[in-house]
């Protein structure tokens, strides 16, 4: 059976990890390459880098991070943040990323989804949706959550699928950073509206939140940053817990 | 000395395969080349054919490099260890049915068909880690499991990304399968030829052990 993926996310600025980390075993806690390696050795099914660098000129370090990580981590790598066009996508893929996540650029120019998934294969195009509750439904926000596009998240998700995206990275802006758990209503609504995998993100605070996101939210994968960064939970712990709850996770490397 | 050739035919992420081979051969006398020249192919001891993309475009890419003849001589004639990954395995089939009907290399009888999604409840592509079912024990799988220091073959998974399934004809050439709505061929083997639908270069410990076992073939 296909396993549910557990994906740690690293926020990177100019080649350095932004959030404070407690990986004592690492020589350099700010080095994203070493952290990615530690995560993958711990059982991460995929690694996601979010490049929070604002300007294109400062992107070079991210390219280096990707290519160095690809030399050391033998699990799939996803990169997102500030991707504007086909060239940006190509640059990340050539550096060694397996998937590239696009967000604001997909809203501003939806045909970028069609073009890039046709050119590179739909499996490597992830579209990120930052959604926030508006009365009954959810609206899509862009520019790091600063701009309300007024677009309905459900219809946007369907549109994304039609255009050829391979996956949706769904972040609830209402829950992000709250540790109150995923927005399960949002997650289940979107994942039943589309036939491509949905990665749930935003709000994980405890073990049960992972379980709920999968079981009640219907997510194919769960992504978390701070609970892993601050070592509140380890990937191993999450996987063992999920396994005990009969969720299908990859655990074959944990018996070492 | 080992001389690993990763065939470069203008498709796919060759770098990750290169990285993985580099990592597992660190302490060995091993040269890795990414090339599509006949000369390099002749010098090689191990041949890897990666593949990402559609069946036809991969095949056309390979044909354009003009190495097909030499490749068949090296693999089918000289019996050099060969590994086809993902579409690199699918191309070995008799026929492929992705966006039409196309003739494959026909090294291993069978057809490549879209994963059955009649009930429309499967997410396609089949993407992620899936558990492996070992159908039989071969010299290769024996060494692989030993390398993984695993007593049992339960609970091993590998990373897949694909929408098409290699339905090979001869049951005895199928070594590993996985399940996604239907039985998916995960590894095939015929004499010196190995093909995997999963990506060993992205399958962490298991994948590296798999590639290491392949490099030991001679």
So which residues of B are the catalytic ones? 86, 199, 201
Cβ of residue B125 closer than 8 Å to a chain A Cβ:
yes
pLDDT above 80 (res A57): no
pLDDT score of B57: 85
* Residue B53 pLDDT > 90: no
Q: Is residue B147 within 8 Å of residue B213, measured between CB atoms?
A: yes
Asked if A121 has any chain B CB less than 8 Å from its own CB, the reply is yes
Q: What pLDDT does residue A113 have?
A: 97
Q: What are the distances in angstroms from CA B192 to CA B5, B43, B78, B112?
A: 15, 17, 10, 21
Mean pLDDT value of segment B5-24: 88
Is it the case that residue A255 has pLDDT exceeding 60?
A: no
Q: Which of A19-28, A229-238, B11-20, B166-175 has the lowest mean pLDDT?
A: A19-28
Taking the C-alpha atoms of residue A157 and residue A229, their distance in angstroms, rounded to an integer, is 29
Report whether the peptide linkage leading into residue B125 is cis, meaning its omega lies within 30 degrees of zero: yes
Is the model's pLDDT at A85 over the cut of 90? yes
Which among A68, A74, A166, A253 is the top mutation candidate for probing chain B, defined by the most B β-carbons within 10 Å of its own β-carbon? A74
Task: Give me the pLDDT at residue A213, please.
Answer: 98
Quote the pLDDT of residue B158: 97
Instruction: Reduce the DSSP state of residue A159 to 3 states and report it.
Output: helix
Q: How far is A40 from chain B (nearest CA, A)?
A: 8
Evaluate if residue B185 carries a pLDDT over 80: yes
Whole-number average pLDDT of chain A: 90
| pLDDT, position A24 | 47
Q: How many structural domains comprise chain B?
A: 1
Distance (Å) from the alpha carbon of A156 to chain B's nearest alpha carbon: 18
Is the pLDDT at B5 greater than 90, yes or no? Answer: yes
Cβ proximity of B140 and B194 under 8 Å: yes
List residues of A with catalytic annotation: 11, 130
What pLDDT, in 10s, does the model give residues B107-119? 999 999 999 987 7
Residue A9's pLDDT is 94
Distance CA A241, CA A220 (A): 17
Cα separation, B211 vs B204, whole angstroms: 11
Locus of tokens 């009888």: B109
CATH (domain of B160): 3.40.50.880
Supply the DSSP symbol for B202: G
Model confidence over A63-72: pLDDT tens digits?
999 999 999 9
Q: Which residues in chain A have their CB less than 8 angstroms from residue B123's CB?
A: 195-197, 220
pLDDT band at A226 (very low <50, low <70, confident <90, very high): confident
Pair type for strands B95-96 and B110-114: parallel
Q: Residue A23: its pLDDT value, please?
A: 44
Residue A53 pLDDT greater than 80, yes or no: no
As a whole-number percent, the residues of chain B with pLDDT over 90 amount to: 75
User: Could you write out the DSSP letters of every residue in B89-142?
Assistant: HHTTSSEE-SSS-EE---SS-EEEEEPP-TTS-S-SSEEEEEE-EE-S--HHHH
A116 pLDDT tier (thresholds 50, 70, 90):
very high
Which residues, in sequence order, are CB contacts of A50 under 8 Å at separation 6+?
A9, A10, A11, A12, A79, A80, A81
Higher pLDDT, B99 or A150: A150
Whole-angstrom distance, CA of residue A72 vs CA of residue A137? 42
Which pLDDT band, with edges at 50, 70 and 90, does B28 fall under?
Answer: confident
Contacts of A250 in chain B (CB under 8 A): 129, 157
A142 touches chain B (CB under 8 A): no
Percent of chain A with pLDDT over 90: 71
H helix or E strand, kind and range, residue A38 = helix A32-42
Alpha helices in A139-250 (DSSP H): 153-163, 184-193, 207-215, 226-229, 235-244
Residue A122 confidence (pLDDT) above 90:
no
Residue-number span of the structural domain to which B176 is assigned: 2-215
Nearest CA in chain B to A93: B13
Tell me if chain A has a CB within 8 Å of the CB of B159: yes
For B121-137, write each residue's pLDDT tens digit: 788 889 999 999 999 99
What confidence score (pLDDT) does residue A22 get?
A: 41
Which of A123, A252, A253 should we substitute to test contact with B (largest number of B Cβ atoms within 10 Å)? Answer: A252
The answer, yes or no, to whether residue A20 has pLDDT greater than 50, is: no
CB pair distance less than 8 Å for B19 and A220: no
Tokens at B95, concatenated:
């026929």
Residues A169-190 have a mean pLDDT of: 94
Confidence at residue B208, expressed as pLDDT on a 0 to 100 scale: 95
pLDDT band at A21 (very low <50, low <70, confident <90, very high): very low
Share of chain B above pLDDT 70, in %: 98
Q: Which two tokens stand for residue A121?
A: 């294969």
Residue predicted with more confidence, A206 or A27: A206
Q: Could you tell me the sign of the dihedral formed by the alpha carbons of A143, A146, A149, A152, in that order? A: positive
Hey, is the C-beta of B70 within 8 angstroms of any chain A C-beta?
no
CA B22 – CA A71 distance, rounded (Å): 9
**Is the distance from CB of B12 to CB of B50 less than 8 angstroms?**
yes
pLDDT of A26 = 54
Q: How far is CA A185 from CA A151, A170, A174, A189, A213, in A?
A: 18, 12, 12, 6, 10
Contact residues, chain A, for B155 at CB < 8 Å: 251-252, 255
CB contact under 8 A, A71 and B19: yes
Q: In chain B, what residues touch A195 (CB-CB under 8 Å)?
A: 120, 122-124
pLDDT the model gives residue B192: 97
Q: What does pLDDT average to over chain B?
A: 92
pLDDT of residue A19: 60
């Amino acid at each position: 059976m296909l396993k549910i993926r557990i994906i740690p996310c690293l926020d990177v600025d100019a080649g350095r990890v932004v959030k404070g980390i407690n990986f004592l075993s690492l020589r350099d806690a700010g080095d994203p390459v070493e952290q990615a390696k530690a995560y993958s050795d711990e059982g991460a099914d995929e690694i996601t880098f979010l490049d929070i660098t604002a300007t294109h000129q400062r992107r070079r370090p991210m390219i280096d991070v990707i290519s160095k990580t690809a030399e050391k981590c033998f699990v799939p790598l996803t990169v997102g943040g500030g991707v504007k066009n086909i060239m940006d996508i190509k640059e990340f893929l050539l550096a060694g990323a397996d998937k590239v996540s696009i967000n604001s650029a997909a809203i501003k120019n939806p045909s970028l989804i069609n073009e890039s998934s046709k050119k590179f294969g739909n499996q490597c195009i992830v579209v990120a949706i930052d959604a926030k509750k508006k009365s009954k439904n959810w609206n899509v926000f862009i520019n790091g959550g600063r701009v309300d596009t007024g677009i309905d998240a459900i219809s946007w998700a369907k549109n994304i699928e039609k255009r050829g995206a391979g996956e949706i990275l769904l972040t609830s802006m209402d829950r992000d950073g709250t540790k109150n758990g995923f927005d399960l209503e949002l997650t289940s609504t979107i994942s039943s509206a589309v036939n491509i995998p949905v990665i749930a993100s935003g709000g994980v605070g405890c073990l049960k939140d992972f379980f709920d996101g999968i079981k009640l939210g219907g997510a194919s994968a769960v992504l978390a940053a701070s609970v892993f960064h601050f070592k509140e939970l380890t990937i191993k712990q999450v996987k063992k817990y999920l396994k005990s709850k009969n969720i299908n996770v990859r655990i074959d490397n944990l018996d070492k | 000395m080992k001389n690993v050739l990763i065939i470069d035919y203008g498709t796919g992420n060759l770098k990750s395969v290169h990285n993985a081979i580099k990592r597992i051969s660190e302490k060995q006398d091993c040269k890795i080349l990414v090339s599509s020249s006949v000369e390099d192919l002749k010098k090689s001891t191990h041949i890897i054919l990666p593949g990402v993309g559609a069946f036809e475009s991969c095949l056309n890419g390979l044909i354009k490099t003009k190495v097909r003849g030499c490749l068949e001589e090296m693999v089918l004639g000289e019996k050099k260890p060969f590994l086809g990954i993902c579409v690199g395995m699918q191309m070995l089939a008799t026929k492929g049915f992705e966006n039409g009907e196309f003739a494959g290399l026909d090294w291993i009888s069978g057809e490549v068909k879209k994963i059955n999604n009649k009930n429309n409840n499967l997410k396609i592509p089949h993407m992620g880690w899936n558990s492996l079912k070992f159908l039989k024990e071969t010299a290769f799988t024996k060494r692989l499991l030993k390398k993984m220091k695993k007593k049992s073959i339960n609970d091993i998974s590998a990373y897949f990304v694909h929408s098409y399934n290699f339905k090979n004809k001869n049951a005895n050439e199928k070594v590993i399968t996985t399940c996604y709505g239907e039985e998916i061929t995960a590894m095939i083997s015929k004499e010196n030829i190995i093909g995997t639908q999963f990506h060993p270069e992205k399958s962490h410990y298991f994948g590296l052990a798999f590639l290491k076992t392949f490099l030991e073939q001679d």
